[in-house]
Amino acid sequence: MAPGRPGRGGAGHVSETTPGLRARVVADRGLFVLDVELAVAPGEVVAVLGPNGAGKSTLLAALAGLLPLRAGHVTLDGDVLDDPVADRFVEPRHRRVGLVFQDYLLFRHLSVRDNIAFGPRARRAASRRAAHAAADAWLDRLGLPGFGPRRPATLSGGQAQRVALARALATDPRLLLLDEPLAALDATTRADLRADLRATLPATGAAVVVVTHDPTDAATLADRLVILEHGCVTAEGTATDLAKDPPTPYVAKLLGADPSPTT
Ligand SMILES: Nc1ncnc2c1ncn2[C@@H]1O[C@H](COP(=O)(O)OP(=O)(O)OP(=O)(O)O)[C@@H](O)[C@H]1O
Residue 211 Cα: closest atom of ligand 1: 22
| Rounded average pLDDT over 221-245 | 95
ipTM, two decimals, is 0.96
Site to probe by mutation for ligand 1, drawn from 33, 34, 57, 254 as the one with most ligand atoms within 8 Å of Cβ, is: 57
pLDDT of residue 262: 44
With bands split at pLDDT 50, 70 and 90, how would you rate the model's confidence at 164? very high
Residue 59 Cα: closest atom of ligand 1: 18
pLDDT at 261 over 60: no
Query: Model confidence over 24-36: pLDDT tens digits?
Result: 999 999 999 999 9
pLDDT of residue 257: 63
CA distances from 140 to 16, 132, 175, 191 (A): 37, 12, 22, 19
Query: Model confidence over 195-230: pLDDT tens digits?
Result: 988 988 988 999 999 999 999 999 999 999 999 999
Q: Which residues surround ligand 1 with Cβ inside 6 Å?
A: 29-30, 32, 50, 52-58
pLDDT of residue 119: 86
Lowest mean pLDDT among 70-74, 122-126, 190-194, 232-236: 122-126
Query: Model confidence over 129-162: pLDDT tens digits?
Result: 999 999 999 999 888 999 999 999 999 988 998 9
The rounded mean pLDDT for the chain is 88
pLDDT of residue 142: 87
Q: Which residues contact 62 (CB under 8 A, 6 or more apart)?
A: 25, 27, 34, 68, 69, 74, 82
Task: Specify the pairing of strand 45-49 against strand 207-211.
Answer: parallel
Q: Listing from the earlier edge strand, what are the strands of the sheet with 45-49?
A: 97-101, 175-179, 207-211, 45-49, 224-229, 232-237
pLDDT at 48 over 90: yes
Cα 138 to Cα 229: distance, rounded to the nearest angstrom: 36
pLDDT at 67 over 90: yes
With bands split at pLDDT 50, 70 and 90, how would you rate the model's confidence at 8? very low
pLDDT of residue 39: 96
pLDDT of residue 85: 96
The three-state DSSP-derived secondary structure of the chain is CCCCCCCCCCCCCECCCCCCEEEEEEEEECCEEEEEEEEECCCCEEEEECCCCCCHHHHHHHHHCCCCCCEEEEEECCEEEEECCCCEECCHHHCCEEEEECCCCCCCCCCHHHHHHHHHHHCCCCCHHHHHHHHHHHHHHCCCCCCCCCCHHHCCHHHHHHHHHHHHHCCCCCEEEEECCCCCCCHHHHHHHHHHHHHHHHHHCCEEEEECCCHHHHHHHCCEEEEEECCEEEEEECHHHHHHCCCCHHHHHHCCCCCCCCC
What domains lie within the chain, and their CATH numbers?
A: 1-96+174-263 (3.40.50.300), 108-172 (no CATH)
The helix-helix angle for 187-204 and 157-169 (nearest 10°) equals: 10
pLDDT at 3 over 80: no
Q: How far away, in angstroms, is 159 Cα from ligand 1 center?
A: 29
With bands split at pLDDT 50, 70 and 90, how would you rate the model's confidence at 120? confident
pLDDT at 15 over 60: no
Residue 34 Cα: closest atom of ligand 1: 14
Q: How far away, in angstroms, is 112 Cα from ligand 1 center?
A: 32
Q: Which protein residue's CA is at the shortest distance from atom 18 of ligand 1?
A: 55
